[in-house]
Amino acid sequence: MAAVLKNNIRNTDVLSRWGGDEFLILLSHTSVDEGEKIAEKLRQFVDKTSIQIKDTEIMITASFGVAVLTGNEEYSYEEAYKNADSALYQAKQNGRNRVEVFVVG
């Protein structure tokens, strides 16, 4: 999974493992619309990926939550993470294997 994500992000993006089955990707200089498109592209790459364990092929899916850090000093990285996590939770609630965007307001 990490390799699929890493091989399909831009050189300026930062990928890190964030817990057992979660990853965090920081997309610099990216609007929310661009972030949503990138997340959807990554979701599609993951959706085409499988793992072979002995005689069993396991298909992989991923849900993505997208939020924007606007540069507003009152809006912290922690708040952006919480918003992305909220969008991720919504993606899982809405059926998984999808992208959801946190909308402010």
* Structural domain that includes position 82: 2-101
What is the number of domains present in the chain? 1
C-alpha–C-alpha distance, residues 23 and 43, integer Å: 13
The per-residue pLDDT for range 65-81, each reduced to its tens digit, is: 999 887 776 778 888 89
**Model pLDDT, residue 103:** 84
Domain of 47: which CATH number?
3.30.70.270
Amino acid of residue 84? A
105 pLDDT tier (thresholds 50, 70, 90):
low
pTM to 2 decimal places = 0.89
Q: What is the pLDDT of residue 73?
A: 61
Backbone angles phi, psi at 47, to 5 degrees: -60, -25
62 neighbors 51 (Cβ within 8 angstroms): no
Q: What is the DSSP string of 40-76?
A: HHHHHHHHT-EEEETTEEEE----EEE----S-TTS-
55: annotated active-site residue:
no
* From 13, 21, 33, 47, the catalytic residue: 21
